[in-house]
Chain A
Amino acid sequence: MSPTPRKLKVATVSLAGCFGCHMSFLDIDERLFDLIEHIEFDRSPLTDIKQVGACDIGLIEGGLCNAENVQVLREFRAHCKTLVAVGACAITGGLPAQRNHLDLGQLLTEVYRSRPGLSAGGAIPNDPELPLLLNKVHPIREVVHVDYSLPGCPPSADAFWHFLSDLMAGRTPHLGHGLIHYD
């Protein structure tokens, strides 16, 4: 990895994802110790920074399923020079988008009122603290401009590694043979 003049700031977030992309990122294993010589984490599930600051790179896992996801995505777009859709959910909506053909109202009733083992008289949660749902799960490119997409469910650790190495070296990222897959 060529030396960089200053540490790049990287923020990461999981929207309507499963954290699998974050796990795969951590699957770079001991290469993490090389990476942190060149980058500094801003907001991320791995840090306690709750608000995204000015960053060079934003890695977005997961699609959009509620209003809060949309707000967080917009904050990332506003603060990150380069925004990356990481994994199937961010790029296409992924598996959670399988709810898109279902009626939300019916879904509510089904999950809360007719599942086995529920106490009688349970109502649907209705607290203002709960973020508002979108009736479909959307890929992030429908709301903000996305600079790069890193495909896979999840992308492999090597894909993360090569992608970030390219970005850090100022090269246009190019995933070589074997690093692009969609499963």
Chain B
Amino acid sequence: MSTSLETAAPDAVAQGLRRVAIDPVSRVEGHGKVTLLLDANHRVQQVRLHIVEFRGFEQFIQGRPYWEVPVMVQRLCGICPVSHHLAASKAFDRVVGALPVTPTADKIRRLMHYGQVMQSHALHFFYLAAPDLLFGFDSEVNRRNIVGVAQAHPDIARKGVLLRKFGQELIRATAGKRVHGSGSVPGGVNKHVSPQDRALLQRDVAQMIAWAQEAVLIAKQLHAQNPALYDSFGSFRSNLLSLVRMDGALDLYDGVLRARDTAGAILFDGASDQDYLGLIEEEVKPWTYMKFPFLKSLGPELGWYRVGPLARLQNCDFIPSPLAERERLDFIAWGRGEPIQATLAYHWARMVEMLHCVEVIQGLLDDPDILGGELIASGPRQRGGVGVIEAPRGTLFHHYEVGDDDLVTMCNLIVATTHNNQAMNEAVRSVAREYLDGRELTEGLLNHIEVAIRAYDPCLSCATHALGRMPLEVTLLGFDGALIDRVLKSHSGEFRHDLGTVPSVSV
């Protein structure tokens, strides 16, 4: 596993290097930038994807009453709020002793979750990634967006918008609100699906299946039209991690942890999510806010892995829905007996998953349990728990401990995008080596780097746990020049802040 290009050699630095930044990385969720260091001959010496955002959720959730947390943590991310909503709920199911939750709660949560994965995948493919895939990686910059797609391919854009709408409506019907709802609670859910909402969703679901099949076809055709590009672009060997159902089926809501090595052989299987700390460790690097998880058994050099659609489709034994299973077999066949390691294969895998989601949704909508039945379960109280779910972007861990006073005493999160941190860095280095090395950089060439990042559909808001270095002094001035805030750092790393008087602002 090459981690060359992570840090430029000291002798190269001594000769002086030119810095090129892609800032901000666009058409992704959250804040990231890429920096390249180049020598006088345009040879790439260093490439880094920096996550530049900090919000500190893990810390301020501590001290909050546990029942607030499933609603609070949605504010980690507006694209996949349901993942956090449900992962937290699953952790607190353990705290309230709801093992298991009622069939009604399980099915309504699944409906919410599969609706969310569906909308997130549609958003990514049609709104964010499509311009690169349909127009080319170095197409005209002002065209590379959803508006360009709508103008050039109105039919594709319209179906993409309506696929996402259907997923968002499912979330509204189950969580009460499209973004940041409150349907799931520790121990279950707080409402049934209304017959009216069910009828609306049932009316459109067959159409959604047809469109999801078309989306798989688009992704498949992209590969078929340009196999050399799609097989080699940002391709590297990695381990894989995901949840699978007890019988090895793909399951996005619940299951056991399974990991495979770079050759596709199973590293571990059937591992309980409660034991994640025994399996995964996180490393910190000085140049990014995002941590670098790795499998403890293999160590930091060899133990990093990929999560998300590419991992899930190759990690499971089968997809438990007929149309998507047929597509999975096609996808696996593309690898000709080898694990598929190509970064752009994420898009194809993502669309197969979207099709699976609609199939699952169709089945759940016909289930009478979503209209009635017990909503909440409870049992012996526990001190804490881990909740794990397959978020759109990969495996999401929420781990909490709760005191006798109901306040959270510990919160640890490993979000999907964090698992892919090393992989995304490998991808941009691979692309830099192949496309940028020794060439005059153009906007189109730099976009190749972003294409590699976008394939992972990173959610960079989610992925921020940590803090960067404070300068000797930072000041925040009001628009009238008045000092609002000033932070000072001593040489020993001690912080103190001098608060100026906040000016009264009349807006």
Q: Do A and B bind each other?
A: yes
Tell whether, in the assembled complex, residue A130 and residue B52 are in contact, meaning their CB atoms are under 8 Å apart. Answer: yes
Tell whether, in the assembled complex, residue A22 and residue B78 are in contact, meaning their CB atoms are under 8 Å apart. Answer: yes
Tell whether, in the assembled complex, residue A142 and residue B158 are in contact, meaning their CB atoms are under 8 Å apart. Answer: no
Out of A20, A127, A145, name the residue touching B81 (CB < 8 Å): A20
Which residues from chain A contact B470 at a C-beta distance below 8 Å?
Answer: 104, 132-133
- Residue in chain B with minimal CB distance to A68: B52
| B66 at the A interface (CB under 8 A) | no
| B162 at the A interface (CB under 8 A) | yes
Which residues from chain A contact B76 at a C-beta distance below 8 Å?
Answer: 18
**CA separation between A126 and B81, bound complex, in Å?**
30
Out of A21, A36, A108, A130, name the residue touching B287 (CB < 8 Å): A130
- Which of B126-185 touch A at CB < 8 Å? 127-128, 141-142, 144-147, 150, 154, 157-158, 161-162, 164-165, 168, 177-180
| B85 at the A interface (CB under 8 A) | no
Tell whether, in the assembled complex, residue A133 and residue B79 are in contact, meaning their CB atoms are under 8 Å apart. Answer: no
Q: Mark A121-148, 1 if CB is under 8 A from B, else 0.
A: 0111111111111111010011111100
Q: Mark B402-446, 1 if CB is under 8 A from A, else 0.
A: 000000001010100000000000000000000000000000000
| B494 at the A interface (CB under 8 A) | yes
| A70 at the B interface (CB under 8 A) | yes
CB distance from A93 to the nearest CB of B (A): 11
**CA separation between A154 and B81, bound complex, in Å?**
12
- Residues of A in contact, count (CB < 8 Å): 78
**CA separation between A67 and B265, bound complex, in Å?**
46
Which residues from chain A contact B465 at a C-beta distance below 8 Å?
Answer: 111, 115
CB distance from A48 to the nearest CB of B (A): 5
Name the segment of B333-341, B375-383, B478-486 touching the other chain.
B478-486
Tell whether, in the assembled complex, residue B178 and residue A24 are in contact, meaning their CB atoms are under 8 Å apart. Answer: yes
Tell whether, in the assembled complex, residue A154 and residue B179 are in contact, meaning their CB atoms are under 8 Å apart. Answer: yes
Which residues from chain A contact B373 at a C-beta distance below 8 Å?
Answer: none
Chain B contact residues: helix, strand, loop or mixed: mixed
Which residues from chain B contact A142 at a C-beta distance below 8 Å?
Answer: 476, 478, 484, 502, 505
**A19-B461, A129-B35 given; A30·B158 CB < 8 A:** yes
Tell whether, in the assembled complex, residue A104 and residue B178 are in contact, meaning their CB atoms are under 8 Å apart. Answer: no
Tell whether, in the assembled complex, residue A19 and residue B288 are in contact, meaning their CB atoms are under 8 Å apart. Answer: no
Q: Mark A19-58, 1 if CB is under 8 A from B, else 0.
A: 1111110110110110010001100111111100000000
CB distance from A173 to the nearest CB of B (A): 15
| A8 at the B interface (CB under 8 A) | no
| B12 at the A interface (CB under 8 A) | no
CB distance from A178 to the nearest CB of B (A): 13
Which residues from chain A contact B59 at a C-beta distance below 8 Å?
Answer: 99, 102, 107, 110-111
| A2 at the B interface (CB under 8 A) | no
| A98 at the B interface (CB under 8 A) | yes
**CA separation between A24 and B119, bound complex, in Å?**
13
| A119 at the B interface (CB under 8 A) | yes
| B28 at the A interface (CB under 8 A) | yes
Tell whether, in the assembled complex, residue B284 and residue A123 are in contact, meaning their CB atoms are under 8 Å apart. Answer: yes
Which residues from chain B contact A104 at a C-beta distance below 8 Å?
Answer: 467, 470, 487, 495, 497
Out of B22, B27, B147, B289, name the residue touching A36 (CB < 8 Å): B147
| A3 at the B interface (CB under 8 A) | no
- Residue in chain A with minimal CB distance to B128: A46
Q: Mark B454-496, 1 if CB is under 8 A from A, else 0.
A: 0000000100011111110010111100001101000001110
**CA separation between A134 and B500, bound complex, in Å?**
13
Out of A33, A66, A96, A125, name the residue touching B158 (CB < 8 Å): A33
Give the number of residue pairs across the A-B interface with Cβ within 8 Å. Answer: 268
Tell whether, in the assembled complex, residue B281 and residue A119 are in contact, meaning their CB atoms are under 8 Å apart. Answer: yes
| B67 at the A interface (CB under 8 A) | no
Which residues from chain A contact B368 at a C-beta distance below 8 Å?
Answer: none
- Residue in chain A with minimal CB distance to B181: A183
Q: Mark A77-115, 1 if CB is under 8 A from B, else 0.
A: 100000000000000001110110011110110111001
CB distance from A68 to the nearest CB of B (A): 7
Tell whether, in the assembled complex, residue B72 and residue A95 are in contact, meaning their CB atoms are under 8 Å apart. Answer: yes
**A30-B165, A102-B60, A125-B287 given; A47·B145 CB < 8 A:** yes
| A60 at the B interface (CB under 8 A) | no
Out of A18, A111, A116, A145, name the residue touching B467 (CB < 8 Å): A111
Tell whether, in the assembled complex, residue B150 and residue A20 are in contact, meaning their CB atoms are under 8 Å apart. Answer: no
**CA separation between A75 and B157, bound complex, in Å?**
31
- Residue in chain B with minimal CB distance to A40: B147
| B40 at the A interface (CB under 8 A) | no
Which residues from chain B contact A44 at a C-beta distance below 8 Å?
Answer: 26, 145
**CA separation between A25 and B120, bound complex, in Å?**
15
| B33 at the A interface (CB under 8 A) | yes
Tell whether, in the assembled complex, residue A133 and residue B507 are in contact, meaning their CB atoms are under 8 Å apart. Answer: no
CB distance from B355 to the nearest CB of A (A): 21
Tell whether, in the assembled complex, residue B178 and residue A111 are in contact, meaning their CB atoms are under 8 Å apart. Answer: no
Tell whether, in the assembled complex, residue B466 and residue A23 are in contact, meaning their CB atoms are under 8 Å apart. Answer: no
| A118 at the B interface (CB under 8 A) | yes
| B50 at the A interface (CB under 8 A) | yes
**Residue of A112, A135, A141 with highest tally of chain B CB at under 10 A:** A135
- List 7 extra interface pairs beyond A48-B450, A131-B468, A154-B179, CB under 8 A: A45-B28, A48-B141, A111-B466, A116-B410, A117-B280, A135-B497, A143-B476
5 sampled A-B residue pairs with Cβ under 8 A: A18-B77, A19-B29, A118-B283, A122-B284, A133-B470
9 tightest CB-CB pairs across the interface, nearest first? Answer: A20-B78, A130-B468, A122-B284, A126-B469, A105-B495, A127-B287, A19-B78, A98-B60, A95-B75
